[in-house]
Amino acid sequence: MFTITNHFVDQAEFVESPNFSERPEGAEPTLLVIHNISLPPGEFGGSYVVDFFQNNLDSSKHPFFKEIVNLQVSSHLFINRKGNLIQFVELSKKAWHAGASEFEGQKECNDFSIGIELEGTDTEPYSDEQYSSLIDLTQCLIKTYSKITNERIVGHCDIAPTRKTDPGESFDWSRYRSSLA
């Protein structure tokens, strides 16, 4: 079971990303956004996601990396295929995960959301270990940040539908949501 102390998940490895900023005055986490990422696309394991979120991605390692090496993005949390958790940004800060986005008429979802990246693709099934960690983590986040409710948990595809498709058709929303009840 995960716990949070001072906006850090106690059981997570903390690897600070420089890609964050302060939330607007008075803004607090009220939305949870589920994403997926794999680097290179479709490949799992290794340190490339961590490198990417730290602006340390070596563009010589894969042709795709040349396309993204200058992007400055992050997520609050990352769950790898084994269910291990890495935190990149303090939960009270604004991670740069959603980009141009909108939820219930409110733009700039980064201002009021927590982003969780799952190591995966839109089409590859996620692991049981990932679901287990995600469910425990979500329950902890809901307990800690009471304005995040089941109705305020979305996929990246829901807040940026013309740009994003993640977490994709492979994400079992029914399994996930029923486990939160």
42-98 confidence digits (pLDDT tens) = 999 999 999 999 999 999 999 999 999 999 999 999 999 999 999 999 999 999 999
Options 117, 119, 129, 151, the catalytic residue:
117
> Does the active-site annotation cover 151?
no
Rounded CA gap, 124 and 126, in Å? 6
Mean pLDDT of 167-176: 98
pLDDT tens digits along 8-48: 999 999 999 999 999 999 999 999 999 999 999 999 999 99
CATH number, domain at 41?
A: 3.40.80.10
At 181, is the pLDDT very low, low, confident or very high (cuts 50, 70, 90)?
Answer: confident
Q: Is the dihedral of CA 139, 144, 148, 154 positive or negative?
A: negative
Per the structure, the complete domain to which residue 12 belongs is given by: 4-180
Mean pLDDT of 123-145: 98
Rounded CA gap, 54 and 64, in Å? 17
pLDDT the model gives residue 10: 98
Question: pTM here?
Answer: 0.98
Domain total for the chain? 1
Q: Give backbone dihedrals phi and psi of 175, rounded to 5 degrees, phi first.
A: -60, -50
